[in-house]
Each structure stands twice: as C-alpha cells, then as structure tokens.
Structure 1
Amino acid sequence: MSVIKSLIDDTISISHYLYSHFISLSLLSQLSILISFPFIYSLLWQFIYSLRKDRVPMVHYYIPWVGSAVTYGMQPYDFFENCRSKYGDVFSFLLLGKVMTVYLGPKGHEFVLNAKLSDVSAEEAYTHLTTPVFGKGVIYDCPNWKLMEQKKFAKVALTKESFIKYVPLIKEEMLKYFKSTFKGNSGEIDVLTAQSEMTLFTASRSLFGDELRSKLDTSYAQMYSDLDKGFTPLNFVFSYLPLPNYFKRDAAHNKIAHTYLDLITKRRQSGKIEDKDLVDALLKNSKYKDGTRMTDREIANLMIGVLMGGQHTSSATSSWFLLHLGEKPELQEELYNEIKSILGDRNDLTYDDLQKLDLVNSTIKETLRLHMPLHSIFRKVMNNLSVPNTSYVVPKGHYVLIAPGYTMLSEQYFPNANEYQPHRWDNIKSIDGGISLPSIESNGKSSNETIDYGFGKISKGVSSPYLPFGGGRHRCIGEPFAYTQLGTLLVTYILNFKWSSKCPPVDYTSMVTLPEQPATIKWERREKI
C-alpha cells in the first residue's frame, strides 16, 4: 500500500509542477501548447497504432478527430482507390473520431454482411443517422428482431399481386405529372426536382392509396429532400446540432408524420380497414411476436421509412438513367423499339410486360451499377472481430465499412466499368429477384442458398460484385418494387419523349449519390405513329 501511495503522491506532485509551470507561461505560449497538444497526441497515437501487428493499417491523417473525413466525404471512391493502392483491400481511417475499418471487394461484402448479429450491429451504427429522420421505435431505433418483424409487416404490400395493381397506377400518376409540368411540345426540366416529385407521387399512390396521395403536393417532395440531407458524415456523429439542415430535417419529419397520423386516425375512426393498401395492413397486422403492437406514431414513422425507400432511391436512379440516356439517343430508340415490340398498338402497360423488356431492365441494372444509391454500408463492432486469413483484429467499438458501389466500378469484374453499357447484361442471367451475378464463395462455386431472417427467404450469398440493394439480414426488401416503379417510369418516358442531356459528376455530400447541379434534360414530345 505504501508503494501505491508513494506513486500517487509522486503523480500529484508532477501534475502540480506541470500546472504551475504552465500558468507561469505567457498567454501566447499557453495557447500554443493547447493548440499543438492534440496534434502531437494524434501523431503519437498513430505511431503507436502502426506498431501493432494485430491492427489493420491506418490511413495517416494530420487533423485530430477530423481524420480523413474531408477526403472521404468529397470523393469516397477515389479515396478508397488511393488507399487500396497503398494498403490493399483492408485498411482503416479516422472519420470524425470514429475508426472505420474498410474491406473492399466481394470478400469484404461477405465479411460484413454475413457477420454474426452478436458481432456487428447496424442499429448501433445507424441510429444517430436514422432515428431523427424516421422517428422513434422503427428501423434502427429498435432491437433487430423488431426490425425484422417490421420488414415482414411491410412486405404485404410488396407481392407480385400488389405489383400487378401498381403498374397502371404508377403510369397514371406519371401521365398526370407530364400534363401539368411538361408544357408544350418541348422544353427543359431539372431532373432532380421532377423525379423527386414524380417518384413521391407514384410511390405514395401505389403503396398508401388514393387518400394519402391526395394529401401530398410538391412541398412534400422538398420535405423528403430535407430528410435526405440528414444522411451526412456529420449526422453520423451528431444527431442534433443547431444548424439549418438539422432544423429543416426535424420540421420535415414532424410535418410528414402528422400527415400520416391524421390518415391513421381517420381510418381507425371510420372502422373501415379493408386491406386496400399498406396503411390498412399495418393497422391490422402490426403485432409483434411478443404480443405488443406498434403504436400509431410508430406506424406513421414506419410509413416515412417505407415511402422514403420507395422515393429517394428511385428518384436518384431515375434521374441518373434519364441523364445517361440523354447522351445516347440511339439507345433511346432501341428501348422504344423493344417496348413497341411487346406492347404493339396497346396503350396499357402491365407487370407481365415489364418482365419481358430485357433492355429496360438492363438499363436499370446498369444505372444501379454505376450509381449505387448508398456509397457506404457500415456496422458497429460489438465484439472483437478477426479479419479472415490475416492477423488483424477489429476491436469492439470500432466500425466496419464496405462499399459495393466501389466494387461495381471495378475493371476486374466489369470491363470498361466507367462506361454506361446496358448491353453488358445481355448474357448475364438474373437470379434472386434482381441480383444479376451469382455469389462466389471461397471455393469458386456459385452459392444460391437461401435464408429467412424473419421477413421471407433471401439469398445467403453476398460475395457477388453486384449488390445494389445490399445483402444479408439488412438487404433492402423493396428491390422488386424498385424494378417495378423504375421500369414503369422508364417505359412511360420513352413512349412519350425524346431528350438530350449532359451527364454531370456525382455529388457525394450526403450518403445518397445524386447528380451535381445543374442536372437537366432538354425534351421534345415523341410523335405518335
């Protein structure tokens, strides 16, 4: 005990001496020390970290806490490529105080997406981002088993029978939008604005019915855009700050949630819940396996998440295919000829028609390959996680990150990867509802094994270089709806217009990969034959 007491006394004496010496310095000297200390500490920490053989190589940085946030946030794929050339497929970087371990390529997809639920957590990784956007009690603001149940609740509106009904509704909404917005025989439109509004109207009409659709106008598309802006690296660390984009995000959430709550209250009071749309289905069937039910506010919050899934992804993807096709008039004509070969003189479009339009579906696939909506997918590490076939261990509390969008731009898997070539998919068979390359396991054999996480069977294999909708237990359940909505959008555009454009660079300032402004197309009405 005397030794310990002596050490404590010595430590106090040294601290007192250092403090006394510090306050005796001039103000300028004190400020210099205070400013330089974090930088010295950061460099020392990085040096010690680099000596450890059980840690993934870390990208060097100069600014404490900020780390590589700026270079990653501005051009994530360029950042990944530069790091890969220096460190290989596995490396780590500091993102606003968080250590992110990146594993690039299909092996990384397998490492993260099929990791044990006890080892990695999407809920812990994303709740700072998603809870202010979607609201309490849903998506990542609840235990994983509840999220799997919520997916099951929502899937009642994502069946083939539902899609058959949705196609004519989506087309009808589009024609209304064309009539009100595309004036005259030619003009120019901002595709981000148009597609944001169009996908909101088509998704709300098909998923939630006429009653909700009638409540929404173009201001709601702007509100969903304000929600989108809640997905930035800064939001990843700080859920709430006194900044304008935070205020807009919160105002948008409250306005949309109350609109949905008004509809829910009206349905309950009417006593007429008839399974006519997803709202009815949630009111009747949103009972968890433990016997508890979702509250009306949680149902409204889940509706925000579902509609956002059917709006922002399709808005971004349809904007991109319009911009790319604007540079390829010959491809527009090829699509037109394919559509007419299936429809003939018919004016209607059916779900079965969409399944026969190979080039239409290839155009969607190619757009998703070049522009995966989310450029990064990450999880928080809950237990020390060994990186296969290495000596590396990712410590508890760090994060793991994969980037399927980066892999989909790799020449190794897609020759001429930066070129927009829908015909590259001509000889690739589609499997598992849209994932178009088989998952390859370590033995080189294709894996089509399925697994049910509680919301229906999906492919267990996630080692494919093509994963635009993610994989594993958190794979997007809206993939079939996305193809239905996007297919109908593309067909209806092609049948009504020709257009030209210049495809802009990608804006990576949020987690959603959008075109930089200006992003416009010059359109003219197609002559009816």
Structure 2
Amino acid sequence: MELDPKLLNVGVLLIATLIAAKFISVFLIPRSRKRLPPVVKSWPFLGGLFRFLKGPVIMLKQEYPKLGSVFTLHLLNKNITFLIGPQVSSHFFKASESDLSQQEVYQFNVPTFGPGVVFDVDYSIRQEQFRFFTEALRVNKLKGYVDQMVYEAEEYFSKWGESGEVDLKYELERLIILTASGCLLGEEVRNKLFDDVSALFHDLDNGMQPISVIFPYLPIPAHRRRDQARKRLAEIFSTIISSRKQSGKSENDMLQCFIESKYKNGRPTTDSEITGLLIAALFAGQHTSSITSTWTGAYLLCNQKHMAAVVDEQRDLLKKHGNKVDHDILSEMNVLYRCIKEALRLHPPLIMLLRSSHSDFTVTTKEGKEYDIPKGHIVATSPTFANRLPDVYKDPDTYDPDRFGPGRDEDKAAGAFSYISFGGGRHGCLGEPFAYLQIKAIWSHLLRNFELELVSPFPETDWNAMVVGVKGKVMVRYKRKVLPLS
C-alpha cells in the first residue's frame, strides 16, 4: 500500500513542528526564564505587601546580600523590580518617558498637587511645566532668592537670646517654611497669611500617608483634611493671583514666574495650575531642606574635625568679604557644601524612586550577569540603600565629607549615578541649587554667630514618614558669640 504524498508531507511537517517546538522549549524558554531577575520569597496574592509597608529599606538590606543588585518583589498584582547600584541603574535614570514613565507610579500625588499639573497631565505638558520651574530657578533668579534667604536667617536668629536651649529640628523647620514662603509663595503669604497657609500645608502634608501610595482616595480623616486644605489653598492663591494681575505689580518670587509663564502655544497658566505648581514646589523643597539642615547640624556638632573645618572656612570668608553674604559668596563655601552633601548621602529624604516600564529592557550587573526586565514591571531604586554601598563608598556608614574632596571624589570614581540623593538623569531634582543655597545661608549664619552644643542623643531616623526625616527632638544648647568668629 502506497502512502499518499500529501499525507506524507503533512506527517513530515507535523514531526518537524514538534521537533522545533521541543527545541524552543528546551533551549529558548529556559534561557529566557534564567534571564529574569530572582524573586523575593513572599505570600501568594499579597506578595511582599507587609514587608514593603513595614519598610522597603529593611527588605532591601535583607534581600540584596542574597539576590544581588537586581531582583523582583511581587506586590499584590504588581511586580516591582529593584535596580541597586550605579552599574544597573543607568537605564532607570537615562531612559525616555516613553520607556520608563513617572506618571503612573506617582498618581498618588494628584490629590495633593491638584488637577492639571505635574502627574495629572501628559508628558509633553509636564515638560513645559518643568520648564517653568527651570526658568524660576535660573541663576539670576537664585541671586534674588539668596537675599531673601539671608534676610530670613538674620531675622529669625535675632530673636534668640544670648544663650539657651532649642529644638534645632523645630527651629529649622520653622525658618525654612518662612524662607520658602518669601521666595516661592510671595510676600502676601509671608507677611499676612503665613500662619493660615502654614497650617493648611501641614494638613496637606499629613494627608500623604504610606497607605496613600496604594489608595490615594481612601475616605480616611487624613485624606479628608488634605482635600479641605487643598480647596482652601486654591481659594487663597486665586485671590492673590487676581490681585497681582489687577495691580500690575511684579515681585521677585516663584509665584510671579508662574503667573508670567506661557505654554509654547501662547496659552498663559491658569490660577489652578499656578496653585498646583506652587504646592509641588513647596513639597519638593521644604522637606528636603529642613531635614538635610537638621542632619547637617547633628553631624557637625558630633564631629569636631569637620566642625573646625567649616568654622575656619567661615573665618576666611569673613576676612575676604566682611559680613556680606550673597549668592557668589555662598558658592565659595565648598567645605560646608561637602558637609551638607555627606549628610544628604546618609539621609536622603526620598528613600524610593519609581518608574513604570513600558517596554522590555536588559541590565548587566557588575559581575556581568544579564537580566531581562519585562514590560509592565514597576522599576525602583533606593537612594537610601544605594548611597551606602561599600563597593562605591569607603566606610559607607561613616560621616566623612572629605570623601567628596579633591583627590577622592568617591561619588565620581564608581561612575555615573553613584550619588542619587537628588535623583539624576532626565528627572534630576530641579531645586538642588536652591536647596544648597538655602541650607548654606542658614548654617553660615549659625556658624558665624553662635557656639552650639548637641545636648540630646544623636537623632534617629523616622522611617514611618513618607518623606523620611529626623525622629524626635534635636536639643541644642546655644550661646551667642560676642564677636562673630572671634
């Protein structure tokens, strides 16, 4: 009996298909699976939810030694893939918004910032709004802001007595929101509405809870107070904006910059957009500056070597410039800059940076291992953890500002994105120069005019806050100097 050639061809094709399928399953599929990052052991469905809410940095400390610089955490119906260290985080910081997006992962900010700004608009509009921030923080603008910063510091500390004890954390928080009000929100808020606006910002701030990241509209008391405060702030700023426009008066503050800003198509900013952008600016700057100012003081007061170095620098600047302090003189304070930068390395206020992956990509670890990160994963890195990697920084848990000095430059020696307290790449913090100038203005005044002593224990970190800061009081004994730096 002869076989039908058509049946024979079908049979051969079927066998070839089966062989090909077997080949793919044996050689290609396992290889693909091997290239996926290792996964943190966790509960079914809930995944690592409880570990994440308890503290992502604690989880990173536990898993990094076991799993390496790239690993995935299942979290409810999401996958979060962590990229830890400069060797694997380059794509995180350099990828385009179409590949790695901020918008989806930072939606929890929308109730706070308000509609029509930052993460509630598409990328092209957000880029234009970031341009407004950039223009408001140009060097010529910063020079004017410095005058306000110096004035606020002099005015605030003039109210201290000849000697006494204060909670440094509280004092610096108060001073920085006064400065931010003057530089960002305008004299109307600074001189007339400060207490009202400060209280409203407090409610807005407390409305940003860890649970808000997952359920930003959950009807809890903190969210209700947040929404009421946001509504009231919008009313206040609408009145101020209308008054300025009618009077034709122009001020040197960020509010004025936003009022005068226009989109590429010629459309001016709306009152609602201006309010949202101001809230975003204050949120970005106030916490970072007050937290970093406090940590800087705590470390200097516990390290006589570095305290002596910054005092000597101030003494030299006094000899060179007299009592004058302006933008250019603050820029000469390199020793103080390194002390602030080191405090910020050890205690970055934002412990997690997040993106949503819109396309597959591959990363290579320092050991040469390649991992494929699938589209749809949330991609994360941690400034808190990455800033203390021992293969990047010598004695990473030690406060050592000299690591950033000439000849060492540890943050540069290990390559790009070794120091990420202000983020980096496409989404680096626009307010970094403003923050350094503000903190320098405060500490140069304190160093020149007061003898300071830390009388409470060295502060602990408040891991329960959304923006991680200083836990408890930081009690300092002060004594006014008879002659500055005599």
TM-score bracket relative to the smaller structure:
0.7 to 0.9
Match of 1:245 in 2: 222
What CA distance in whole angstroms lies between the structure 1 residues aligned with 2:336 and 2:199? Answer: 29
Q: Secondary structure at the match of 1:197?
A: helix
Match of 2:428 in 1: 475
Measured after TM superposition, the shift of residue 184 of structure 1 is 4.8
Match of 1:266 in 2: 243
Match of 2:13 in 1: none
Match of 2:438 in 1: 485
1:73-152 matches, within 5 Å, as 73-127=53-107, 129-152=108-131
What CA distance in whole angstroms lies between the structure 2 residues aligned with 1:225 and 1:503? Answer: 26
The one-letter code of the counterpart of 2:474 is A
The one-letter code of the counterpart of 1:92 is T
Match of 2:174 in 1: 197
Say if 2:393 and 2:411, in contact at 8 Å, map to a contact too. no
| Higher mean displacement: 478-487 or 217-226 | 217-226
Q: How many equivalent residue pairs?
A: 448
What CA distance in whole angstroms lies between the structure 1 residues aligned with 2:93 and 2:51? Answer: 25
1:443-482 matches, within 5 Å, as 463-482=416-435
Say if 1:329 and 1:500, in contact at 8 Å, map to a contact too. no
Say if 2:351 and 2:468, in contact at 8 Å, map to a contact too. yes
1:2-41 matches, within 5 Å, as none
CA distance 1:151–1:165, shift in 2 (3 Å): same
> CA-to-partner distance for each residue in 1:302-344, whole Å, 9 max, x for gaps?
0111122221110111111122223234533432221121122
The one-letter code of the counterpart of 1:373 is P
Say if 1:428 and 1:437, in contact at 8 Å, map to a contact too. no
What CA distance in whole angstroms lies between the structure 2 residues aligned with 1:386 and 1:229? Answer: 39
| Higher mean displacement: 325-334 or 150-159 | 325-334
Of residues 267, 271, 292, the one that matches 1:296 is 271
1:60 aligned onto 2:35: no
> CA-to-partner distance for each residue in 1:84-113, whole Å, 9 max, x for gaps?
111111111134543211011013321211
What CA distance in whole angstroms lies between the structure 1 residues aligned with 2:142 and 2:200? Answer: 26
The one-letter code of the counterpart of 1:353 is I
CA distance 1:143–1:212, shift in 2 (3 Å): same
Measured after TM superposition, the shift of residue 357 of structure 1 is 1.6
Measured after TM superposition, the shift of residue 360 of structure 1 is 0.8
The one-letter code of the counterpart of 1:136 is P
What runs of 5+ residues in structure 1 fail to find an aligned partner? 1-48, 441-462
CA distance 1:224–1:412, shift in 2 (3 Å): farther
The one-letter code of the counterpart of 2:100 is V
Q: Secondary structure at the match of 1:499?
A: strand
> CA-to-partner distance for each residue in 1:40-76, whole Å, 9 max, x for gaps?
xxxxxxxxx9x944532221123742x3344334443
Two-structure CA RMSD over aligned residues (Å): 2.6
Match of 1:369 in 2: 345
1:514 aligned onto 2:469: yes
1:352 aligned onto 2:328: yes
The one-letter code of the counterpart of 1:214 is N
> CA-to-partner distance for each residue in 1:402-454, whole Å, 9 max, x for gaps?
11331211121111111112222222588xxxx962783xxxxxxxxxxxxxx
Say if 2:411 and 2:418, in contact at 8 Å, map to a contact too. no
Say if 2:183 and 2:254, in contact at 8 Å, map to a contact too. no
Match of 2:11 in 1: none
Measured after TM superposition, the shift of residue 496 of structure 1 is 2.4
CA distance 1:225–1:498, shift in 2 (3 Å): farther
Match of 1:234 in 2: 211
| Higher mean displacement: 464-473 or 499-508 | 499-508
Measured after TM superposition, the shift of residue 347 of structure 1 is 2.4
What CA distance in whole angstroms lies between the structure 2 residues aligned with 1:402 and 1:96? Answer: 19
What CA distance in whole angstroms lies between the structure 1 residues aligned with 2:282 and 2:481? Answer: 31
The one-letter code of the counterpart of 2:435 is A
CA distance 1:162–1:289, shift in 2 (3 Å): closer
Say if 1:343 and 1:349, in contact at 8 Å, map to a contact too. no
The one-letter code of the counterpart of 1:325 is L
Say if 2:207 and 2:226, in contact at 8 Å, map to a contact too. yes
Measured after TM superposition, the shift of residue 471 of structure 1 is 1.5
The one-letter code of the counterpart of 2:325 is L
Of residues 124, 134, 138, the one that matches 1:155 is 134
What CA distance in whole angstroms lies between the structure 2 residues aligned with 1:493 and 1:163? Answer: 21
CA distance 1:360–1:380, shift in 2 (3 Å): same
The one-letter code of the counterpart of 1:476 is C
Q: Secondary structure at the match of 2:158?
A: helix
Normalised to the residue count of structure 1, the TM-score between the two structures is: 0.78
What runs of 5+ residues in structure 2 fail to find an aligned partner? 1-29
CA distance 1:230–1:471, shift in 2 (3 Å): farther
Match of 1:319 in 2: 294
Measured after TM superposition, the shift of residue 260 of structure 1 is 2.0
The one-letter code of the counterpart of 2:58 is D
Match of 1:72 in 2: 52
Match of 1:16 in 2: none
The one-letter code of the counterpart of 1:346 is G
Measured after TM superposition, the shift of residue 190 of structure 1 is 4.8
The one-letter code of the counterpart of 1:124 is E
| Higher mean displacement: 195-204 or 370-379 | 195-204
Match of 1:211 in 2: 188
> CA-to-partner distance for each residue in 1:14-64, whole Å, 9 max, x for gaps?
xxxxxxxxxxxxxxxxxxxxxxxxxxxxxxxxxxx9x94453222112374
Measured after TM superposition, the shift of residue 187 of structure 1 is 1.3
Measured after TM superposition, the shift of residue 383 of structure 1 is 2.8
Say if 1:273 and 1:284, in contact at 8 Å, map to a contact too. no
Say if 1:323 and 1:503, in contact at 8 Å, map to a contact too. yes
What CA distance in whole angstroms lies between the structure 2 residues aligned with 1:380 and 1:87? Answer: 22
What CA distance in whole angstroms lies between the structure 2 residues aligned with 1:408 and 1:228? Answer: 26
> CA-to-partner distance for each residue in 1:127-158, whole Å, 9 max, x for gaps?
1x211111111111111111111111122221
1:312-461 matches, within 5 Å, as 312-344=287-319, 346-388=322-364, 392-427=371-406, 437=412, 440=415
| Higher mean displacement: 342-351 or 259-268 | 342-351
What CA distance in whole angstroms lies between the structure 1 residues aligned with 2:88 and 2:229? Answer: 36
Say if 1:343 and 1:353, in contact at 8 Å, map to a contact too. no
